[in-house]
Amino acid sequence: MTKSPRRAFVAANWKMHGTRWMVLDYATDWPEVPAEVDVVLCPPWGYLDRVRSVLDGKGIRFGVQHTAIEPRGAFTGEHAAEMAGDLGAAFAIVGHSERRRLFGETDEVVAGKFAAALRAGLTPILCVGEVLDERRQGAAETVVATQLDAVMDQCGAPMLAGCVIAYEPVWAIGTGETATPAEAQEMHAAIRAKLVREGVELADTVRIVYGGSVKATNAQELFAEPDIDGALVGGASLDAVEFAEICCAAA
């Protein structure tokens, strides 16, 4: 199998972790990584400005883990995508399985947040994936296709050309379980084939990354697959050295 020329993409999702001191230590520990990979760090909203201020210029771009659909208004506790851009973010994670499961974000809500990211000039990192029962029932590809359809129905298929798609099998997130490289490749190829069928322009250039207990020890094997263009990394991204090793593996 020949690896595609798509530029590697690795994003860190810190989830609800971090302190001021962790941010400083992270910046101190962060090594130089190859310029051939796009590296994005998505800390909690409260640390975005601090993270950007200490890591700016180190080959990292920044994103947020979620946004509101609305651009402004009386929505206590929410953050607009436009605010993320104002703080220096260029990306927004949309539809992470924890947002879907814990906060009741439906496919329609996810599509609205995808549209909000585009409206604010952010690149969406669109998360799709199935739970274990759906995979056991042979419905994994159908579930993922339905999640993609919701975005295309609301935003139009052409809008997927400018995003990053993260396939995250829900059963492999934070569990220590990881889809085999062959399983991940199969779904990545199915997603790309769907983009082609839907007429997404330059579908072969859309980056599709894997998210699901990616670590330095398994990254190289995953990234060797032709349609796996990088990773959305959770727990392992909290360690600057290990996250940098994953970035190097992608490059």
Per annotation, catalytic residue among 66, 96, 134, 225: 96
Q: Which two tokens stand for residue 250?
A: 């992608």
Active site residue 130: no
Q: Look at residues 134, 138, 215 and name the one whose alpha carbon lies nearest to residue 169.
A: 134
**Does the pLDDT value for residue 42 go beyond 70?**
yes
What span, in angstroms and rounded, lies between the C-alpha atoms of 156 and 172? Answer: 30
pLDDT of residue 178: 72
pLDDT for the residue numbered 5 = 77
pLDDT score at 171: 85
Torsion of CA 178, 223, 211, 118, to 10 degrees: -170
Domain spanning 8-250, CATH architecture: Alpha-Beta Barrel (3.20)
Over residues 116-148, the pLDDT tens digits come to 999 999 999 999 999 988 998 999 999 999 999
What pLDDT, on the 0 to 100 scale, is given for residue 2? 59
CA distance readout (Å), 248 to 38, 90, 231: 11, 22, 12
Cβ proximity of 99 and 78 under 8 Å = no
Neighbours of 71 (CB within 10 A): 13
Confidence band, pLDDT 50/70/90 cuts, at residue 4: low
Q: Determine whether 96 is an active site residue.
A: yes
Confidence tier at 3 by pLDDT (50, 70, 90) = low
- Domain positions in the chain are 8-250
Burial profile 94-133: b = 16 or more Cβ within 10 angstroms, e = fewer: bbbbbbbeeeebebebbbbbbbbbbebebbbbbbbbbbee
Please give the pLDDT value at position 1: 54
pLDDT of residue 176: 73
pLDDT band at 172 (very low <50, low <70, confident <90, very high): confident
Helices 216-223 and 181-197, packing angle to 10 deg: 50
Task: Please give the model's pTM, rounded to 2 decimal places.
Answer: 0.95
Mean pLDDT calculated for residue range 76-101: 97
Q: Which of 118, 93, 114 is nearest to 12 (CA)?
A: 93
Please give the average per-residue pLDDT across 63-83, as a whole number. Answer: 98
Mean pLDDT throughout 6-23?
97
